[in-house]
Structure 1
Amino acid sequence: MVNFNPNEPIYLQLMNRIIGEIVRGQRKAGEKLPSVREYAVDVGVNVNTIQRVYRELEYEAIVETKRGQGTFVTSNSERLETLRDDKKREIVHHFMKNMQEMGYNKEEMVMSIKLQGDEE
């Protein structure tokens, strides 16, 4: 079961979950995803929600459905690299927006990232 954010559509949260797994390398190119029914039971949502998730991911060329075989992470390495870059830009954008809202300028943001990196 997954704890969902009530302020965001469940299908988007599940799409982002799968995209995150792909970007982190937890799901590999060409890997078969769970069946719609199996994934619905795993996360505790309606089958129709998972069908929408898979359909949207297919529309974005992140997965491909092979009739009678299931749904698979795309084997297109260029698409996967673009997905990874898009996710990185999205995270950086949110970080910068949040920091700007707190009153930090770009130099302060860069310095905090450098300091944080030195601590790890």
Structure 2
Amino acid sequence: MFDTKIALIVRNDLAIWQRLNVVAFLASGIAASAQEVMGKPYIDSNGHQYGKMLGQPMMVFEGDLPSLQKVHKKAIDQELTIIPYIYAMFSTGNDDANRQVFLAEDANHLNLVGLGLRGPKKAVDKAIKGLTLHK
């Protein structure tokens, strides 16, 4: 089927709107960093062309902060594509501010609320081992 896997992990103590927001941002990060997984535009029966979506599934998992931090370390070790989202990014209003608060965060103890991962299927599976699918 696919040699690669995409996993989105969101923290389980967030409000629903926050979870959905984080997942949307993580998915956009995966799409931006892996142009080769983009599908073709959709065309309806009237000939109207729509935008593209990723051409492979993304699985959404959940976990607590220690679980996300553990996955983050494993993902670095596995050299996966990693899209991070930290709690401080909820308080910013733009992408530049997001990068500033991310840079200010302790890299060894990120207050993660979400991670997007992409890489070889076995490596992603190793990084997310023990997580459960989002309910």
- What TM-score comes out, normalization by structure 2 length? 0.25
Q: Which structure shows the bigger proportion of residues in strand conformation?
A: 2
More contact order relative to length (CA 8 Å, sep ≥ 6): 2
State which structure, 1 or 2, has the greater radius of gyration over its C-alpha atoms: 1
Q: TM-score, length-normalised on structure 1?
A: 0.28
